[in-house]
Structure 1
């Protein structure tokens, strides 16, 4: 499974989104109804566990869109 497929699987699981292919990089909490503070942390934990990384707190607080999440993963060596 590619990193992108894994990323989509995690998003689908955390936010219960059926069609993750419709999610755009510009989407944030305003477009993703299930994206709240708790699910934000659940997403980070799932990404850290799956990709075996540790995302710094300052980076976690700067994740406003799907694109931001992808860029941050790339910063930690996970190519999406």
Structure 2
């Protein structure tokens, strides 16, 4: 994992995530990210919720179960050749 993004949490701290994969589903962009670059990293799915007029991308954690299941299946298909498990 080479690509990193730095997001600012609600409390103002910067959090670094490692981008594993990205996809577009419907009209939304999604990132599959990990909280570290080791094999025991926790993976999260982030949704780009920014508007056209936003100067930077705005990402939110996907928490809706239906949306999470749909996007997880897409990432599983994209990563079928990799040794990555999405739970």
What TM-score results when the alignment is normalised by the length of structure 1? Answer: 0.34
More helix by share: 1
More strand by share: 2
What TM-score results when the alignment is normalised by the length of structure 2? Answer: 0.32
